[in-house]
Amino acid sequence: MDGITGIYGPGDGELVQKAFLATGALQHRGKTGSGIAVGTDRGIHLVKGVGGIADVVDVEIVHLLQDLTPSAAIGNVGYTKNKIAEKRNAEPVMVRPKKASPWQVALTFNGRIVGEDELQAELEDEYAFETANRTELLGALLHRCVAREGPTFEAGRTLVDLLHGRGSFALVALVFDGKETRLVTLNDDRAFEPFCFGTVGGNFVASSESCSHRRLGGFAERDYLGAEMTIASSAGVETRRLRVERPLTDVFQAIYFGNVASQYRGQDIFQLRKALGLALTRLYGRPEADVVIPNPDSGRGVAYGIAEGLGMTLSHGLVKQAQAIRTFQESQVRRRTIEVGLKFAAIDSVLRGQRVVMGDDSVVKGSVSEGGSVWSVYNAGAKRLEFWISYGPMFFPSFKEWRRGRECLDELAVQRAFRGEHPYDKPLEEINRRVAKLIGVDRVCYNTRENIEAVVGPGSFQAMDASYPVAEEHWPDWLKQEVERSAKLGLRFG
């Protein structure tokens, strides 16, 4: 999960500062690496490193980059796409053709391409791959398309067609032809990743989320459709759709990833999460509860909905510590456990002796619940704890985790709760009971697929039904076997 931004604004004396602010607005999407690249009429210049955007790009660097009089800039914040965060793997990245080329390309992207080894093998004679970051691969593919067809919509269509069924991507790139730098944006044909654009203060701005546009004092015009491309240059700004496929947007962006100040399909994410909480109260009715609290921070919206639906006041019994980081994509169990333990502090006076309903967005692996919020609430003296979840049971892993093998399936809380058997044919009540026992709470209340889709609309519910933006031919064998098993058992919630 990365946050990406692109701004085109020739003559704007604050362009780099605006790129910094727009990128910083996405900091919730990752903190392991970040960077900014600017394009001028003399070439592309890049600054990147390990840490948040403010750790990498300070005021002096902003001034130095602005003194280059850039016409365009791109930025990235994100999780490392590898086990170890290193400066060389931070983004944006510069494409390195082995032979002299009139085209210079720097890019960053959000998403995941599968079958990348095969693609890279085809390019190794033409491009040098200097990092362990597969963004270089996407950059090489883009550079090859541009070298053959120019910075055109035809080049974009070639890339989209090549990557059809191979995962997801939303990219921003700077393309320099020796005279000027163009800003190029492009996404996959299913529009899986969040990606929006608009004009703010006369500048074209593309971003993973609309909170970037709000940070600059404007608004996003709309989300990108699938296979939609923008080319911004001295000739103007033009956007075209290059291929039409059935959209498969990632619903989990509204449930968890997105900033509550952002929009999903034109609706405030906070209001969507609140509506999911209201739906839970209609599904489960009035519980034995004295207080409703959120599991901060992404559980805040659903908790507001739960409190409203139950006619109760929302209390804040847990505090997310300032040093806390998002642990969702931390694959190393030991490190994840340590980080989770640093995440929360409970307010004893709110929780002691109380029957607590806690609203949360999801239970993925269960480690945040077990080692963090659950322990903290009980340690504060709560006598009962119910976990009300805005999302449904997660049977399957994100396709972005496949590279870790079957481990990413077996570690899911629902799979762990049914170790030695299968959860696919079990009623929701049984899944609730088993997961509650696993994470150590009195009750778990998952949402249903019908409720979620009624609120956020159709899209990819990959964790519930394996609706991946990846053609089945690229699925790992262990996943194919598991999905076939779930189909034979009659998966109830897909």
Answer yes or no: are the C-beta atoms of 98 and 125 closer than 8 Å. yes
Structure tokens at 331: 């694959």
According to the model, what pLDDT value does residue 298 have?
84
Residue 297 is predicted with a pLDDT of: 81
Residue 277: CB atoms within 10 A of its CB come to 28
Rounded to whole angstroms, the Cα distance separating 139 from 150 reads: 15
pLDDT surpasses 50 at 329? no
Q: Is a pLDDT exceeding 70 seen at residue 80? A: no
Question: What is the C-alpha to C-alpha distance for residues 62 and 9, in angstroms, rounded to an integer?
Answer: 16
Query: What is the pLDDT, as a whole number, of residue 86?
Result: 84
Q: How confident is the model at residue 1 (pLDDT cuts 50, 70, 90)?
A: confident
CA distance 352 to 369: 19
48: pLDDT strictly greater than 70: yes
For residue 372, what pLDDT is reported? 82
Encoded tokens for 320: 């997310």
Instruction: Supply the pLDDT for residue 164.
Output: 98
* Nearest 10 degrees: Cα torsion 332, 338, 342, 345: 110
Helix axes 153-163, 135-149, angle to 10 degrees: 140
Residues 341 and 312 sit within 8 Å (Cβ to Cβ): no
Q: Is the pLDDT of residue 325 over 80?
A: no
Tell me: pLDDT of 425 over 70: yes
User: How far is Cα 83 from Cα 403, in angstroms, rounded to an integer?
Assistant: 11
pLDDT tens by residue, 167-219:
999 999 999 999 999 999 999 999 999 999 999 999 999 999 999 999 999 99
pLDDT of residue 368: 66
Sheet order of strands, 33-39 included? 44-50, 33-39, 72-78, 2-8, 203-207, 196-200, 222-223
pLDDT band at 15 (very low <50, low <70, confident <90, very high): very high
Least confident of 58-72, 81-95, 167-181, 271-285: 81-95
Mean pLDDT to the nearest integer, 75-104? 88
Angle at 445 between CA 420 and CA 354, to 5 degrees: 115
Mean pLDDT (the chain, rounded): 93
Q: Which of 88, 71, 89 is nearest to 8 (CA)?
A: 71
Q: From CA 183, how far away is CA 234, in angstroms rounded?
A: 10
3-state secondary structure of 117: helix
Confidence of residue 406 (pLDDT cuts 50, 70, 90): very high
183 in Cβ contact with 72 (< 8 Å) = yes
pLDDT digits (tens, 9 = 90+) for 355-398: 999 999 999 998 766 668 898 999 999 999 999 999 999 999 99
pLDDT at position 331, please?
Answer: 46
CA 274/CA 138 separation, integer angstroms:
37
> Between β-strands 267-268 and 263-264, what pairing exists: parallel, antiparallel or unpaired?
antiparallel
Q: What is the pLDDT of residue 262?
A: 96
User: Residues near 206 by Cβ (< 8 Å), separated by ≥ 6?
Assistant: 4, 5, 6, 7, 172, 183, 185, 195, 196, 197, 224, 230
Per-residue model confidence (pLDDT) at position 85: 73
pLDDT for the residue 84 = 65
Is pLDDT at 83 greater than 60 in this prediction?
no
